[in-house]
Structure 1
Amino acid sequence: MFKVIRRAWRYLVFAVSGRLDELTDPRVQIEQAIQEAKEQHQRLTQQAAAVIGNERELGMRLARSLEETEKLQANARQAVLLAERERAAGDERKALSYEDSARAFASRLVAAETALRDAQLMHGRAGQASAQARAAVENNAMALQKKIAERMRLLSQLDQAKMQEQLNRAMGDLSGLAPAGDTPTMDQVREKIEKRYARALGEAELTSNSVEARMIEVERAALDVEGAARLEAIKESLGLDRKPEVEGRPGAEG
């Protein structure tokens, strides 16, 4: 049961994500991608600045350690020289005092030299990290510039796609392939008119060949014959010359 619920949940998430991708404006997605790239570059720049700052701080510490080492070395040398001078002057007690000072300077010098070596090692590693950070920032800056250029190309391509879609819709409306709303196409209207015209012709053909139509034609012919006879009678009563009937006149017989 748990597997079924988890599978259904994954399907729902995938379906909603796909629907959101369809509804999201590509222009907004492009700007979001560029903004994310800019923020990533800013974070990388801040991290690189921290690494470079650490290198500078270690460099200052190294300089102080080197200065302290040189100072202790000079003091130890000076204490040894003073001890030798006092011993040559016959003042052994003072000479021993200078020797004690020289030993103290020497001990501090050893500790300072150890700290100096550690500082040099840390500064060297920091220098390598700083160089890598600089290279990472430069590479990311180049990648960001490429993305910005790609954004311009994609936006231009998006505008061209929209214009082509509008042109396709316009051409579809003209050709009757894509009517707007419930408006019928020219092909549909032509088919409807041709269907009505063909049905009307069929009805006319059936009407003209029916018995009623033939009866009407016979009655009309009889009326024409009777009218012609009446016209001849009127002419005869008026003493006008009677004209011979035309042979083959429709309705003359019967």
Structure 2
Amino acid sequence: MANVVRRAFRYLSASANRKFDEKADPRVQIDQAIDESRRQHEALRQQAALVLGNQRQLEMRMARQIENVANLTESARTALTFADDARAAGDTATSAQYEQTAQTFASELVSAEAALEDMRTLHQQAEQSSGLARRAVDDNTERLRQQLAERARLLTQIEHAAMREQMSKAMESMSELTPPGDTPTLAEIREKVEKRYSVALGRHELASSGVEARMLEVRRASIDARATNRLAELRASLPPAPGAAQGEAGGPAQQVAAGADRVALGKSEQPAPATPTTHGAPENQGAPGPATNGH
């Protein structure tokens, strides 16, 4: 029974994780991965700093130990010198004391040299650990730099994918195969407008083919003809233009006006009928009379 419960729990956990991954924003997950890498890199840097600090501390201890060894060596030599001087002077007691002091310095010198040797061994190990730590930090820095570049590339791909998805949705919304929704598509609007336009054309065609429409057309033609004649009369009554006497090379309006002027001028230049004189003979003032003789 416990095994079944564990399997069911693992199955539900895996299913929940899968659904969560499907619904999760990739940008947020990328930022989480980068933050985790940065956290690990900072932890590695701190560990490497500890290793390097241990090496530096060992180096400082070694420097003090080397100085201690040098001091003990010098002290032991000085004690031996004093012992030899006292022995040469015949003071055996003082010489023995200096010999004992030199022995003490020698014992401390042996311990100091042993400690110094241990420190040197530890320092070599610390140097190796420091080199490994430096290489690890450098390698992890390069990996983090690659992850940041990969993050930029993935974010760019995500933006392109979002743009293409939006364009696909827009194209699908304008397609005729798209199922009807709350907003009408352009195809539906076009069909509605074309239907309304065709019905309007049909009504206009029916209205223009009737008897009343033909009668209205005849009346309109008659009115246009009378308007044209009246316009010609108005043009004929206008005074001639200054350049109309030079010929009929002008426009139609000038020709019509010139013709009207010629008709009026012809009527005014007809000869008047002859009128009788007071003596019953017509006047002929311009010609001489017939010659007469004295009778």
Query: Normalization by structure 1: what TM-score?
Result: 0.70
Report if the CA contact (8 A) 1:179-1:185 is conserved.
no
Distance 1:85 1:115 in 2: 32
**Residue number in structure 2 paired with 1:160:** 160
1:4: Cα distance to partner?
2.3
**Residue number in structure 2 paired with 1:41:** 41
**Residue number in structure 1 paired with 2:20:** 20
Structure 2 unmatched runs, 5+: 190-295
Counterpart residue identity of residue 77, structure 2: R
* 42 and 96 in structure 1: CA distance in 2 versus 1, 3 angstrom threshold: same
1:181: Cα distance to partner?
3.8
* 142 and 154 in structure 1: CA distance in 2 versus 1, 3 angstrom threshold: same
Report the more deviating stretch, 173-182 or 30-39.
173-182
* 77 and 57 in structure 1: CA distance in 2 versus 1, 3 angstrom threshold: same
Structure scoring higher RCO (CA < 8 A, sep ≥ 6) equals 1
**Residue number in structure 1 paired with 2:242:** none
**Residue number in structure 2 paired with 1:86:** 86
Correspondence list, 1:31-110, <5 A: 31-110=31-110
Report if the CA contact (8 A) 1:44-1:137 is conserved.
yes
Distance 1:110 1:159 in 2: 72
1:183: Cα distance to partner?
6.3
Report if the CA contact (8 A) 1:169-1:178 is conserved.
no
Counterpart residue identity of residue 75, structure 1: S
1:90: Cα distance to partner?
1.5
Structure 1 unmatched runs, 5+: 190-254
Q: Secondary structure at the match of 1:90?
A: coil
Counterpart residue identity of residue 88, structure 1: A
1:188: Cα distance to partner?
10
Distance 1:91 1:5 in 2: 95
Report if the CA contact (8 A) 1:177-1:185 is conserved.
no
1:161: Cα distance to partner?
0.5
Q: Secondary structure at the match of 2:14?
A: helix
Q: Aligned-pair RMSD on alpha carbons?
A: 2.2
Report if the CA contact (8 A) 2:83-2:96 is conserved.
yes
Counterpart residue identity of residue 57, structure 2: E
**Residue number in structure 1 paired with 2:236:** none
Q: Secondary structure at the match of 1:17?
A: helix
Does 2:154 align with 1:118?
no
The one-character-per-residue Cα deviations of 1:34-84 (angstroms, maximum 9, x if unpaired) are 111111111111111111111111111111111111111111111111111
Distance 1:10 1:176 in 2: 46
Correspondence list, 1:127-166, <5 A: 127-166=127-166
Counterpart residue identity of residue 117, structure 1: E
**Residue number in structure 2 paired with 1:2:** 2
Counterpart residue identity of residue 92, structure 2: E
The one-character-per-residue Cα deviations of 1:160-187 (angstroms, maximum 9, x if unpaired) are 0000111111111222344474668799
Report if the CA contact (8 A) 2:174-2:187 is conserved.
no
Distance 1:177 1:88 in 2: 123
Q: Secondary structure at the match of 2:112?
A: helix
Higher helix share: 1
Counterpart residue identity of residue 35, structure 1: D
**Over 6 Å off, 4+ runs:** 183-189
* 146 and 7 in structure 1: CA distance in 2 versus 1, 3 angstrom threshold: same
